[in-house]
Amino acid sequence: MSKDIVVKKSKLNKKGVFAIRNFKRGEVVLKWKSKKVLTKEEVDRLPESERHHVSHYTPGEFLLQQKPERFVNHSCDPNTKVGNNCDVAIKDIKKGEEITSDYSVADIQLHFKCDCGSKNCRKYI
């Protein structure tokens, strides 16, 4: 496990990823360990619970996220974005803050109710 983040209980979900040091905007918070590339057909065959952990990779290819990156919760006001198989800080993140990402920018059809609590929460993704 990285010394930058820790997985623990979250208010957003059962588990979440939290910063254990300060991050500057633009810094890589979490490098994904995912190496498993799936085709669209393989993604379609995954159970719904697993499909939540699929991320766009290249056109027509998808990554099944591993731990700990799959514990990064969705927020409508996220503090990271996905880039180059990493979660990259889009604002300064303080030690102890939960790491969040906007799932809806991924190229996957995901539909879920959101309860992230941010001011601009879209409620239904």
Q: Which residues pair with 23 in a beta bridge?
A: 93
Only segment of 49-57, 69-77, 78-86, 103-111 that touches Zn ion (CB under 5 A): 69-77
Minimum CB separation of residue 36 from Zn ion in Å reads 28
Under the binding rule (CB under 5 A), the answer on residue 114 touching Zn ion is yes
Phi then psi for 87, rounded to 5 degrees? -95, 120
Under the binding rule (CB under 5 A), the answer on residue 29 touching Zn ion is no
Beta carbon nearer to Zn ion, 28 or 110 = 110
Under the binding rule (CB under 5 A), the answer on residue 12 touching Zn ion is no
Kindly write down the DSSP assignment for every residue of 69-115, as one continuous string.
Answer: GGGPEE-SS-SEEEETTEEEESS-B-TTPEEEE-GGGSSS----B--
Only segment of 37-45, 68-76, 79-87, 89-97 that touches Zn ion (CB under 5 A): 68-76
The SS3 assignment for 121 reads coil
Under the binding rule (CB under 5 A), the answer on residue 102 touching Zn ion is no
Beta carbon nearer to Zn ion, 64 or 76 = 76
Say if CB 71 and CB 7 are below 8 A apart.
Answer: yes
Query: Contact with Zn ion (CB under 5 A): which of 29, 76, 89, 93?
Result: 76
The residue to which tokens 């379609």 are assigned = 44
Under the binding rule (CB under 5 A), the answer on residue 78 touching Zn ion is no
Pick the closest to residue 77 from 114, 22, 29 (CA basis): 114
Give the residues lining the site for Zn ion (CB under 5 A). 76, 114, 116, 121
